[in-house]
């Protein structure tokens, strides 16, 4: 891959090109994953720093962005474990399966619903949030997500299903309130 | 296919994960059933709304202007430290002996019959100053945990190398 060769040949130029090509996309994804811009910037910095240091480990099995996404996710997981946060845990009770309410979107002002969706995604455990971000924000298919996260497709589908139920419940609560 | 079966497949239909046979049956049913077709359209609309919500939430957010400069400085500093670590430079005999002792310590932990999780085992196996034993204890414990619980011994060796490099050993 040309970018990899550039980084190997000229670290500074390759790093700048890495930031130019992937920096803002990683930043937007990081904001989705960790919710705060300051944290997101820190994770992008550490992710790109690690990606450059370990550039020889990129084997081309996945896209370059997916490889960096895995690095970033591991950093977030490691930090969450160190802090003892429950971000990795599934919620104790997953809501009963819900179907999309045909009129929910029409009943709410679109911007209110949009903010409710964002808040709901931010409140998900990391395991669910990471698949939601890849599916909705990065538009990856279930099989691409499974490869990116080294998970069985069934697990990805299950997490998406549970995440959707949780998001719908939170949106419904927003409507009621 | 009846409505109950079709509605169980709606998420798969939106995500494009229906198997061929199921997809044909599902599409036939949805073509004929207005209620299930409405639920499918609602699910597809919901997908589009949520995707827009997430994308709109970060539209226009960009990294600070000095981000690239800071990252390049950090990367170059890391590269410089690595070069200094791997070049023999000062005290080459000591560095070679330290590297061998670390490798022997790792090998001893891996292949000995009675592996222990006590960090001082690695400390004793490595040439480290005695006054560094305490603050190396937690690092050695981590290395031992990696060897005992994780698959990649090369990861443990890399961690040990990073540790030595960071400490300027």
Find the angle CA(B50)-CA(B51)-CA(B55) to the nearest 5 degrees: 115
pLDDT tens across the length of chain A (177 residues): 788 888 878 888 989 999 999 999 999 999 988 888 889 999 999 999 999 999 888 887 778 888 999 899 999 988 888 877 554 443 333 333 455 544 555 555 788 888 899 999 989 998 999 999 999 998 999 999 998 888 999 999 999 999 999 999 998 888 777
Cβ atoms B156, B147 nearer than 8 A: yes
Nearest C-alpha in A relative to B53: A114
Measured between CB atoms, which of A28, A137, A143 is closest to B61? Answer: A28
Query: pLDDT tens for residues B44-62?
Result: 999 999 999 999 888 788 9
CATH number for the domain whose boundaries are A104-176: 1.10.10.10
CA distance A49 to chain B (A): 6
A2-83 folds as Rna Polymerase Sigma Factor; Chain: A (1.10.1740)
B63 CB near a chain A CB, below 8 Å?
Answer: yes
Cβ atoms A15, A6 nearer than 8 A: no
Q: Provide CB contacts within 8 A for A72, sequence distance 6+.
A: A26, A29, A30, A33, A43, A44, A46, A47
Residues 62-121 of A with CB under 8 A from B: 99-102, 105, 110, 113-115, 117-118, 121
Measured between CB atoms, which of B17, B46, B53 is closest to A100? Answer: B46
- Collapse the DSSP code of B129 into the 3-class scheme (helix H, G, I; strand E, B; otherwise coil) and give the result: coil
Domain residue extents for chain A: 2-83, 104-176
pLDDT score at B151: 44
Identify all chain A residues contacting B67, using CB atoms and an 8 Å cutoff: 19, 23, 41, 44-45
d(CA B169, CA B85): 8
What is the DSSP annotation of B10-74?
HHHHHHT---HHHHHHHHHHHHH-HHHHHHHHHHHHHHHHHHHHHHHHHTT----TTHHHHHHHH
d(CA A58, CA A54): 7
Alpha carbon A104 to chain centroid distance? 25
Residues 11-70 of A with CB under 8 A from B: 11-12, 15-16, 19-20, 23-24, 27-28, 31-32, 37, 41, 44-45, 48-49, 52-53
For chain B, report the end-to-end CA distance as a whole number of angstroms: 70
pLDDT score at B49: 93
Cβ of A32 within 8 Å of Cβ of B58? The answer is yes
Which pTM was predicted? 0.67
Cβ of B45 within 8 Å of Cβ of A105? The answer is yes
Query: pLDDT tens for residues A59-78?
Result: 877 788 889 998 999 999 88
Tell which wins on pLDDT, B4 or B137: B4
Tell me the range of A105-119, B99-113, B150-164 where mean pLDDT is highest: A105-119
């Amino acid at each position: 891959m040309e970018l990899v060769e550039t980084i190997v040949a000229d670290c500074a130029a390759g790093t700048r090109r890495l930031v130019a090509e992937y920096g803002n996309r990683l930043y937007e994804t990081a904001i989705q994953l960790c919710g705060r811009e300051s944290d997101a910037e820190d994770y992008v910095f550490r992710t790109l720093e690690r990606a450059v240091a370990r550039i020889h480990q990129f084997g081309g099995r996945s896209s370059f962005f997916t490889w960096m996404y895995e690095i970033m996710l591991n950093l977030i997981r490691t930090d969450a474990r160190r802090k003892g946060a429950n971000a990795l845990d599934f919620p104790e009770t997953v809501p009963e399966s819900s179907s999309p309410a045909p009129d929910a979107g029409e009943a709410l002002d679109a911007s209110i619903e949009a903010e409710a969706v964002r808040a709901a995604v931010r409140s998900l455990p990391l395991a669910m949030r990471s698949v939601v971000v890849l599916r909705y924000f990065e538009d990856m298919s279930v099989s691409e997500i499974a490869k990116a996260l080294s998970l069985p497709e069934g697990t990805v589908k299950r997490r998406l299903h549970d995440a959707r139920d949780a998001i719908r419940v939170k949106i419904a609560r927003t409507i009621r309130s | 296919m009846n409505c109950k079966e079709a509605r169980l497949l709606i998420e798969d239909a939106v995500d494009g994960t229906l198997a061929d046979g199921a997809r044909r049956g599902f599409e036939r049913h949805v073509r004929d059933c207005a209620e299930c077709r409405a639920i499918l359209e609602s699910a597809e609309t919901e997908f589009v709304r949520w995707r827009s919500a997430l994308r709109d939430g970060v539209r226009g957010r960009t990294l600070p202007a000095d981000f690239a400069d800071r990252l390049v400085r950090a990367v170059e500093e890391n590269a410089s430290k690595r070069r200094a670590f791997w070049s023999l430079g000062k005290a080459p005999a000591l560095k070679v002996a330290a590297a061998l002792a670390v490798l022997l310590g790792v090998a001893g932990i891996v292949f000995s019959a009675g592996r222990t999780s006590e960090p001082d085992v690695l400390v004793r196996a490595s040439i480290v100053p005695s006054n560094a034993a305490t603050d190396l204890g937690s690092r050695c414990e981590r290395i031992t945990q990696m060897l005992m619980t994780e698959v990649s011994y090369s990861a443990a060796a890399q961690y040990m190398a990073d540790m030595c490099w960071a400490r300027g050993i």
